[in-house]
Structure 1
Amino acid sequence: MAKHRITQETFDAAVRENMEEFEMDPDEALRDTVQQFEIQGVDLSCIVKAVPTVSSDEQQEEQAHEVLQVLDVLRNRKDSDSVTELMADVKRFAEHCSLGFGQRYLAAQKDAYPVILSYCTKTLEERDSLVTTLSALAALTDGQPDLLDAEGQQLLLDVLKKYHADSSVTCKAIHAVRHCCLKHEQNRQDLVKGGILSLLTDAIRQHNGCAELVKEASVALRVMTFDDDVRATYGHAHEHAKSIVLEHDGLKVLIEAAKANVDNTSILSELCSTLSRLAVRNEFCQDICDLGGLKLMMTLLADSYETPELVRQVFSAIRAVAGNDDVKDAAVHVGGVQLIVIAMNRHMNISAVCEQGCACLSVLALRKPNNCKVIMENGGALAAVQSMKAHTDVANVQKQACMLLRNLVSRSQSYNQQILEMGAEALITKAIKTHQDCGDAGKAALRDLGCQVELRELWTGKHSSLSN
């Protein structure tokens, strides 16, 4: 059931009522108001949970939230005012927007976007000021991509073209692009038509030694391959991924950037995640391998298996590129199975690592009896069983582990007894009963393990007829 929503004015009035009628101090009044609305099932995600303050302007006695006070100052600033003071106010506005979605939403409701966009336009020729205004634009549009209009799209494209050699300006502009494209298909399509993919890949290529920019641009490229806008009946995620690879040499750009940042696990994690989003065709998977991407992933696993987030992203990338059967064999041949199992055992308490590890081994085992042998010999099945024991309440871990166990025995029952002796049957049965999503994968695993399983026939084609 959808939660009720209230306006900021209603919330603020309730806080004032607690302070005036019940003589609560501001903090107590705020806590009580939040608690009462939450008990009523009200969604407060768009609300500024703070007590409004009186503006520093002595002539203005009306209370307002600080983000609106700063916005009002920016709205009334004159071109003749000090640039230093002006940029200080823009920076203050960005800081308030960064406090939470409630501040950003309230500012947007009071028409902050055209005000900030006008400052971006005015500072287009002033590099230092532009960095500040772009930061404010990125902060305001975080979670609010609908704010971006055609004028804003063109401004971001113009900035990236004009300041392509400046890593700081480029990074801020890309940050805004990312926020405006997340969960907004139309913005993605419009910016792609405007040439954003070329600008993003060129930025990584030109500044692959700048860690912050490489990370930001990599995430932005990945966002262009998302299909996350529920309002769009048809997205261009696949087309954008193909364009990044075929028209902009994206695979080589990302892998070269990874090689240039081998000591930065945060960047490597993002690059692996983006590569996995681009492995949408069989030949792309092979290209990643040929360009040294698979070797890089294995090196990362060997050198950084202590870092769980990087391990998770590397698992996801291996899983994606192993959709190609030749890459499957190559990954196993270079010791990938051993590294995956070691990393899984090291982070057995982290469900996301276990999920991706099981999924990765499952892909390597699919239709590959020889690979199954290597996985069994190196403890892959045991790692899956241990994952199921460690995360009984996580449906995705249970499902991926069931799929791995099923793939290991689907073409050869010689491992059945060994897996059953690990206690797999009871764990799979429990997963089926506990998690609805595990039904098909769990029953398939039990069937191929030779266990008793009830398979329900959904439709037999009988007792019905076709009418003209």
Structure 2
Amino acid sequence: MAKRRITQETFDAAVRENMEEFEMDPDEALRDAVEQFESQGVDLGCIVKAIPALSSDYSQEEQKTHEVLQALDSLRITKDSTNVTEVTAGIKCFTEQCSLGFAQRYLAAQKDAYPIILAYCKKSMEEQDALLLTLSALAALTDGQPDLLDREGQQFLLDVLKKYQADSSVTCVAICVVRHCCLKHEQNRQDLVKNGILLLLTGAVTQHSGCAELIKEASAALRVMTFDDDVRVTFGHAHEHAKMIVLEHSGLKVLIDSAKAHFSNASVLSEICSTLSRLAVRNEFCQDICDLGGLKLMLTLLADSYESAELVRQVLSAIRAIAGNDDVKDAVVNAGGVQLIVFAMNRHMSNAAVCEQGCACLSVLALRKPNNCKVIMENGGALAALQAMKAHSDAVNVQKQACMLLRNLVARMQNFSQPILEMGAEALIAQAVQTHQDCGDVGKAALRDLGCKVELRELWTGKHGGLTN
């Protein structure tokens, strides 16, 4: 059931009533209001949970308002001002307030902050320092609020990226705004793609290959273009956008070359691996990543950067994606990938995300590949999966991926069933089936293929019946 919503004014009135009518001190009044609304099932995610402060310009009680709105009012007043210092201070204050949390950004947007900030952005188009400042404010405001962007804003972002192609700092912040406005917003993605955003993003990566922050931002923005995360849209263009990035803009080569240039930067490599996994949407793309040196890069990262759990997770996710290609499966195994994956799982056994991706990776490598199954068994892959099931009994995705791996290992190699059962697989799989409803089908299938007794519910017998209304 959807939670109830209230306005900021309603919440502030409740806090004020606690202070005036019940003589509570400010902190107690605020805490009581939060508790009362939450007990009534009200969602306070969009509410600024703070005491409105007196504006520095006024002394009257009725001028109390939240600091983000004070900053916005200041920008309204100075929109025609020629005092650069005053305007700069106002923009910085507004950006800082928006960066405090979503509630501040939401409240500002409700009070028409977007057109005000966009006007400042357009006004500062010819001045690099001023543009960097106003773009940062726009980036802060649009974080989590992609609906704010309109056609005028889209065109402004495209103009900035074209005009300031040589400026890495402006380009980086503009791309950040693009990413914010495309996350969970299919129409913004489609509009910007139609108007050439993909060329501008890949071009920025190539032109500023030495700028780590820009590479991360552009890689993340490209990845967002392949998302299908807008619940308001029945069918998105995620697949088409991924194909365009690869086929029309050489996205795979651009990203892999950037990864090679930043081999010692774990955060850059993590972003690039995550984006590559989103672009591996066709069999030939998986092979292309391998041929361009992407697989060698990923396996080297597993060997050299195994201490970083987040990087390991992203690398495993990328290997899992490209191993959908049968030839790449063999390439991974022949290059010693199984040993590295099992080692990474054992090194980060306490990390559920790494265990999930590790099991999924091995599961893909084992699918329809008896020789790969042999290598996985010899290198302790089954045992690592069972250890992951023990360590993360409450993580449904770890349980599911481990069950799928175990099933794939014995589907064409029945001689592996007994060794796996001797490791205690039956009890762990049965527990997963009993604990997690989502593990029912895959868990029972694993038990069946392992030769265990399992009750399979017959959903339909195929007989004609006397159906009645």
TM-score grouping bracket, smaller chain normalisation: over 0.9
Residue 70 of structure 1, CA deviation: 0.6
1:242-261 mapped onto 2 (5 Å cutoff): 242-261=243-262
> % of aligned pairs identical?
80
1:21 CA drift (Å) = 1.7
Q: Which residue type is aligned with residue 216 of structure 2?
A: K
Is 302-311 or 457-466 further displaced after alignment?
457-466
Deviations 1:241-278 (A, max 9, x none): 00000000000000000001001000100000000000
Query: Counterpart amino acid of 2:191?
Result: D
Deviant stretches of 4+, over 3 Å: none
Looking at structure 2, the residues matched to 464 and 379 of structure 1 have their Cα atoms a distance apart, in angstroms, of 50
Cα distance 1:60–1:119, how it changes in 2: closer, same or farther (>3 A)?
Answer: farther
Partner of 1:163: 164
- Report the counterpart of residue 29 of structure 1 in structure 2: 29
Secondary structure of 2:56's aligned partner: coil
The answer to whether the 8 A contact 2:302-2:344 is kept is yes
Q: What are the residue-to-residue correspondences of 1:50-65 with 2, within 5 Å?
A: 50-58=50-58, 61=61, 62-65=63-66
- Matched to 1:412, the amino acid is M
How far the C-alpha of 1:59 sits from its partner, in A, is: 5.8
Alignment partners' CA distance in 1, 2:464 and 2:185: 47
Alignment of 1:20-419 (within 5 A): 20-58=20-58, 61=61, 62-419=63-420
1:444 aligned residue: 445
Please say which of residues 28-37 and 249-258 is displaced more in the overlay: 28-37
Flag structure 2 segments of 5+ consecutive residues without an equivalent: none
Question: Separation in 1 of the partners of 2:225 and 2:93?
Answer: 30
Counterpart AA for 1:416 = S
Whole-Å separation in 2 of the counterparts to 1:272 and 1:58:
53
Query: Aligned partners of 1:366 and 1:84: how far apart in 2?
Result: 64
**CA distance in structure 1 between the partners assigned to 2:73 and 2:60 by the alignment:** 11
Shift of 1:79: 2.8
Q: State the shift of 1:60 in Å.
A: 5.4
Secondary structure of 2:50's counterpart equals coil
Cα deviation 1:125-146 (Å, max 9, x = unaligned)? 0000000100111111111100
Equivalents in 1 of 2:88, 2:465: separation in Å? 74
1:365-396 CA-partner distances (Å, limit 9, x unpaired): 00000000000000000000000000111100
Quote the offset at 1:440 in angstroms: 1.0
Q: Secondary structure at the match of 1:255?
A: helix
Output the amino acid matched with 2:209.
Answer: N
Deviations 1:153-178 (A, max 9, x none): 00000000000010000000000000
Name the amino acid aligned to 1:276: S
Q: Secondary structure at the match of 1:5?
A: coil
| 1:465 Cα offset (Å) | 8.2
| Shift, 1:124, TM fit | 0.4
State the one-letter code of the partner of 1:240: H
- For 2:282 and 2:466, locate their aligned partners in 1 and report how far apart those are by CA, in whole Å: 41
Deviations 1:33-56 (A, max 9, x none): 111111111100000011000111
CA distance in 2, matches of 1:465, 1:288: 56
Q: Is the 8 A contact 2:273 2:318 kept in 1?
A: yes
Instruction: State the one-letter code of the partner of 1:437.
Output: D
Q: Which stretches in structure 1 are left out of the alignment for 5+ residues? A: none
Whole-Å separation in 2 of the counterparts to 1:400 and 1:165: 45
Q: What per-residue deviation string (whole Å, max 9, x for no partner) do you get for residues 65-94 of structure 1?
A: 000001001011143431122022111101
- In the TM superposition, residue 26 of structure 1 has moved relative to its aligned partner by 1.1
Instruction: Tell me the amino acid that sits aligned with residue 318 of structure 2.
Output: A
C-alpha separation between the residues in 1 aligned to 2:197 and 2:88? 28
Per-residue CA deviations over 1:295-350 (Å, capped at 9, x if unaligned) read 00000000011110000000000000000000000000011000000010011011
Task: State the aligned residue count.
Answer: 467
> Aligned partners of 2:409, 2:195: CA distance in 1, in Å?
48
User: Which is further off, 55-64 or 136-145?
Assistant: 55-64
The root-mean-square deviation of aligned C-alpha atoms, in Å, is 1.2
- 1:117 alignment partner, SS class: helix
Counterpart contact for 2:81–2:87, Cα < 8 Å? no
* TM-score normalised by structure 1 residue count: 0.98
The corresponding residue for 1:3 is 3
